[in-house]
């Protein structure tokens, strides 16, 4: 071989060798990627443990159907944000979180809305949520205040007023009505009429009403009517009297979400 060809052949061989090495490395990487992709579609990532928390009205079956999560769902590719969006589209769901733990676990946590009243429609009464949302037909035995249907905005005001009440106080309300000027009137189950005023200061008014009812338990005669439209100085009129008595209501702290389900 001519001596002047040796450097040229050496360079060609080196270049060929480098190309071959790169090709082999590329093939190996592609194979590894392929194996990894295939493994994410394997039964390893099929949902086997699905836990639902926070449901009271909705059944676990309802929640799983709405979320799109079911046994066998690929947990690796589960779109948790989309599942949450499907859940909160249900009027009974106030908020939802969907969390996954690889390889095969899904946790669904929901916070249901709180029903606070039943619309006054004898043919088709509907449950009313604390944000004014209509939830559907009430189940048999439902014991909630009956709310007069007086327009969408007024219904939201009444719902907000009732929603500010703790369950023990809400259970004492029989009916709620709204006048044309937006003033709310409640009737308690023992017949006491409550002048509530508009929907402002709902939590303070709830606290004021509780204070008056606590005061009333120690009176020798029953209460005829209560006025909490000025929650700082609520008043009550005893049966058989013509003048109202002012009751000093204690200040009400701002409620936490856990205190007002």
- Strands (E) in 103-220, as ranges, are 105-112, 115-119, 127-129, 134-136, 146-147, 173-178, 184-188, 193-197
Half-sphere exposure of 88 (CA within 13 A, CB side): 12
Contacts of 88-94 with CB under 8 Å at 24 or more apart are 90/58, 90/62, 90/66, 91/129, 91/133, 91/134, 91/135, 91/136, 92/57, 92/58, 92/135, 93/58, 93/66
Q: How far apart are the first and last CA of the chain?
A: 93
β-strands 235-238, 245-246: how paired?
antiparallel
Cβ pair 239, 223 in contact under 8 A: yes
CATH 3.40.50.10960 given to domain 115-259: yes
Of 95-104, 172-181, 182-191, 244-253, the range with the lowest mean pLDDT is: 244-253
β-strands 173-178, 184-188: how paired?
antiparallel
- State the sign of the Cα–Cα–Cα–Cα dihedral 166, 92, 127, 200: positive
Q: What is the 3-state secondary structure (H, E, C) of 46-88?
A: ECCEEEEECCCCCCHHHHHHHHCCCCCCECCCCCHHHHHHHHH
* 17-33 per-residue burial string, b: 16 or more CB within 10 A, e: under 16: eeeeeeeeeeeeeeeee
pLDDT band with cut points at 50, 70 and 90 for residue 220: confident
pLDDT digits (tens, 9 = 90+) for 44-69: 888 999 999 999 889 999 999 999 99
Cβ atoms < 10 Å from Cβ of 174? 16
Task: Identify which of 202, 172, 208, 197 has the alpha carbon closest to the alpha carbon of residue 187.
Answer: 172
Q: Where are the domains of the chain?
A: 1-40, 44-112, 115-259
pLDDT digits (tens, 9 = 90+) for 85-126: 999 999 999 999 999 999 999 999 999 999 999 988 757 889
Read off φ and ψ for residue 82, nearest 5 degrees.
-65, -40
Give the percent of the chain with pLDDT over 70.
Answer: 76
CATH architecture assignment, domain 44-112: Roll (3.10)
Cβ atoms < 10 Å from Cβ of 96? 23
pLDDT digits (tens, 9 = 90+) for 65-76: 999 999 999 999
Higher pLDDT, 150 or 171: 171
Q: Is the pLDDT of residue 248 over 90?
A: no
Which pLDDT score is estimated for 256?
44
CA angle 44, 47, 52 (to 5 degrees): 155
Most confident by average pLDDT, 23-37, 115-129, 205-219: 205-219
Calpha distance 198→192 (Å, rounded): 19
Which pLDDT score is estimated for 5?
52
Q: Is the pLDDT of residue 260 over 50?
A: no
Calpha distance 58→168 (Å, rounded): 23
């Amino acid at each position: 071989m001519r001596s002047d060809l040796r450097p040229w052949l050496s360079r060609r061989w080196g270049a060929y060798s480098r190309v071959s090495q790169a090709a082999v490395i590329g093939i190996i990487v592609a194979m590894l990627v392929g194996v990894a992709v295939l493994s994410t579609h394997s039964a390893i990532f099929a949902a086997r443990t699905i836990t639902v928390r926070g449901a009271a009205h909705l059944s676990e079956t309802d929640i799983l159907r709405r979320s799109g999560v079911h046994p066998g769902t690929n947990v690796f590719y589960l779109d948790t944000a989309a599942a949450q969006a499907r859940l909160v589209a249900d009027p009974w769901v106030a908020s939802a979180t969907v969390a996954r733990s690889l390889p095969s676990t899904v946790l669904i946590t929901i916070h249901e809305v709180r029903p606070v009243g039943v619309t006054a429609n004898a043919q088709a009464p509907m449950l009313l949520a604390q944000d004014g949302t209509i939830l559907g037909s009430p189940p048999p035995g439902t014991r909630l205040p009956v709310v007069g249907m007086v327009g969408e905005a007024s219904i939201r005001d009444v719902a907000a007023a009732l929603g500010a009440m703790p369950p023990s106080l809400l259970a004492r309300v029989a009916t709620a009505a709204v006048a044309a000027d937006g003033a709310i009137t409640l009737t308690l189950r023992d017949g006491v009429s409550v002048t509530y005023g508009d929907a402002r200061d709902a939590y303070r008014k709830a606290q004021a009403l509780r204070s008056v009812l606590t005061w009333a338990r120690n009176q020798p005669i029953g209460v005829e009517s209560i006025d909490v439209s000025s929650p700082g100085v609520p008043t009550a009129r005893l049966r058989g009297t013509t003048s109202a008595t002012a009751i000093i209501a204690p200040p009400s702290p701002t409620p936490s979400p856990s205190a007002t389900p």
